[in-house]
Amino acid sequence: MKAFIKGFGYAFKGIAYGIVNERNFRFHMSIFVYMMFFPLRYDFFEVSRAEFAVLLMMSSLVMAGELLNSGIENAANAATLERDKFVKIAKDTAAGGVLVLAIFSVLVGVVILLQPLAFQKLFAYFAANPLYIAVLALSLALDAVFIFAGPKKIYNFLRGKKND
């Protein structure tokens, strides 16, 4: 039982590693948060429970794929030199797998969320609430910093430390 519980700890460490060290993982997490916010918080989009479950599943597959890709890349780098033909193949195919998941996730999202009336309601809502446009813009700017700088650099910046 102890080993089983320890396994969860290792898994959470892997997720934390992805958040701290992997820009693409942070990007997919951010897209997920924005995509889930509007269907959950407001009645702009008509999404059935089954469609919502599909959106969750596709998002989780992309994020899991990113973590698996990171694991493969790190293991391959540790095992041999970058110039090794098989390491390159492993890394390229793992990255390609994530790209396939991401493309099909976008397609699934478009099929489910492409609702012109919902977008009209969304734009009307923001037009009627200009403060929310500023809040959205600020959240997008903060999100870009999170994605591209990462939590480690943000933390060091806030503490006045120089980043490596």
Given the candidates 1.10.287.3610, 3.40.1160.10, 3.90.550.10, 3.40.50.300, the CATH classification of the domain at 2-158 is: 1.10.287.3610
State pLDDT tens for residues 101-155: 999 999 999 999 999 998 898 899 999 999 999 999 999 999 999 999 988 888 8
Q: Is the pLDDT of residue 41 over 90?
A: no
**Using DSSP, how many helices (H) and how many strands (E) does the chain show?**
6, 0
Round the average pLDDT of the chain to a whole number and report it: 90
Residue pair 30/37 in contact by the 8 Å Cβ criterion: no
Is 66 annotated as catalytic?
A: yes
Closest CA to 154 of 19, 14, 15: 19
> What local confidence, expressed as pLDDT, does residue 129 receive?
92
> What local confidence, expressed as pLDDT, does residue 35 receive?
86
Domain ranges of the chain: 2-158
**Cβ atoms within 10 A of the Cβ of 117, count?**
10
Cα of first residue to Cα of last residue in the chain, in angstroms, is: 41
Kindly name the residue from 22, 46, 66, 73 that is annotated as catalytic: 66
Q: Is the pLDDT of residue 58 over 70?
A: yes
Q: State pTM to two decimals.
A: 0.86
